[in-house]
Amino acid sequence: MAFRIAVAGKGGTGKSTLAALLCRSLLKRGTRPLLVVDADPNSCLPEKLGLKAQRTMGELREELRDDPEKVPAGISKTEWIERLINQEVAEAAGFDMVVMGRQEGPSCYCYINNLLRNCLDKLGDQYAAVIIDNEAGMEHISRRSNGAVDVLLVVCQPNPTGARTAARIIELADSLDLQVGRQLLVLNSTSGTRTPAVQAAFDAAGLRIDTCVPLDPAILDFDAEERSLIELPEESPAATVIDALAETLMKEDQR
Ligand SMILES: Nc1ncnc2c1ncn2[C@@H]1O[C@H](COP(=O)(O)OP(=O)(O)OP(=O)(O)O)[C@@H](O)[C@H]1O
Ligand SMILES: [Mg+2]
């Protein structure tokens, strides 16, 4: 079974950046094969990983809906969809990637959605680890193909607003029908240290900060130059923290 790590949080807190850095760290420590799932309809993870935008599962679903009886003779519909999904998995240097695209649709999509979800779950199981980058908020997660995750990283800003939104997201995650092995609270773009004011805000919200990822100018440069975060040097302070986090998470994966 793959070790599934999902990244969630409010808009713009750095979810995709941290998902990309996790991909970098897992590749570096040799966790392979690795699957990265971009579950944000406004997909941007391929670019952060140096890949071109690719055909999405949403687009594939549209095609299947338009022509559901196109299944070639001699194979089941499930097998056929599995083949189609496999064709859409982008193979990059050392990892694979699936882009979900737009997921919501009228109820008539249910059948195809379920087939797709089952096929994606099966696909995920072929990997040592799966990283799932989500859209902002939490509500959509339970409807997606990532119903069970080993680790949920909740990303937030290092300020009182960040503490309040993180508390809401965690509350929502707890109320959803989502199996989460472990939740970790990640403060992103910090000054590198946990200031007393920030600590007080999180204490007041009843939250324990698990990891602080520093504000890293190199990340902004990479963004501006559209360079893959996989190449972020290990002396970059954010990369160092995520390397350590990846190491801890994978050591815990004793299954
Ligand atoms: N630790 C960091 N240091 C410097 N810049 C960062 C850091 N983390 C994220 N950024 C920058 O912040 C911006 C937002 O990051 P990102 O796109 O990862 O957020 P997001 O939560 O995925 O946003 P969205 O909700 O729109 O998907 C980007 O320009 C990114 O380069
Ligand atoms: Mg994002």
Provide the percentage of residues in the chain whose pLDDT is more than 90.
57
Q: What is the CATH number of domain 3-252?
A: 3.40.50.300
Q: Alpha-carbon distance 246 to 249, whole Å?
A: 5
Asked if residue 25 has its Cβ within 6 Å of ligand 1, the reply is no
Asked if residue 139 has pLDDT above 80, the reply is no
Asked if residue 218 has its Cβ within 6 Å of ligand 1, the reply is no
103-107, 142-146, 201-205, 225-229: the lowest-pLDDT one: 142-146
What is the arithmetic mean of pLDDT over 115-124? Answer: 82
Q: Write down the pTM of the prediction.
A: 0.93
* Among 91, 26, 7, CA closest to 54: 91
pLDDT band at 146 (very low <50, low <70, confident <90, very high): very low
Span 20-51, pLDDT tens digits: 999 999 999 999 999 999 989 888 999 999 99
Asked if residue 180 has pLDDT above 60, the reply is yes
Q: Alpha-carbon distance 234 to 25, whole Å?
A: 9
Ligand 1 site-directed mutation target among 45, 219, 229, most atoms within 8 Å of CB: 219
Asked if residue 71 has pLDDT above 90, the reply is no
Ligand 1 site-directed mutation target among 17, 36, 212, most atoms within 8 Å of CB: 17
Q: Alpha-carbon distance 232 to 217, whole Å?
A: 11
Asked if residue 173 has pLDDT above 90, the reply is no
* Residues whose CB falls within 8 Å of the CB of residue 47, separated by 6 or more in sequence, listed in order: 53, 226
Asked if residue 165 has pLDDT above 80, the reply is yes
Q: Alpha-carbon distance 96 to 181, whole Å?
A: 24
Asked if residue 73 has pLDDT above 90, the reply is no
What is the arithmetic mean of pLDDT over 215-220? Answer: 97
Provide the percentage of residues in the chain whose pLDDT is more than 70.
92
Name which residue leads in pLDDT, 166 or 76. 166
What is the arithmetic mean of pLDDT over 175-190? Answer: 90
* Residues whose CB falls within 8 Å of the CB of residue 230, separated by 6 or more in sequence, listed in order: 20, 23, 24, 27, 49, 50, 93
pLDDT band at 16 (very low <50, low <70, confident <90, very high): very high
Each domain of the chain, given as residue ranges in start order, spans 3-252
Asked if residue 220 has its Cβ within 6 Å of ligand 1, the reply is yes
Span 78-93, pLDDT tens digits: 888 888 888 889 888 8
17 CA distance to ligand 2 centroid (A)? Answer: 7
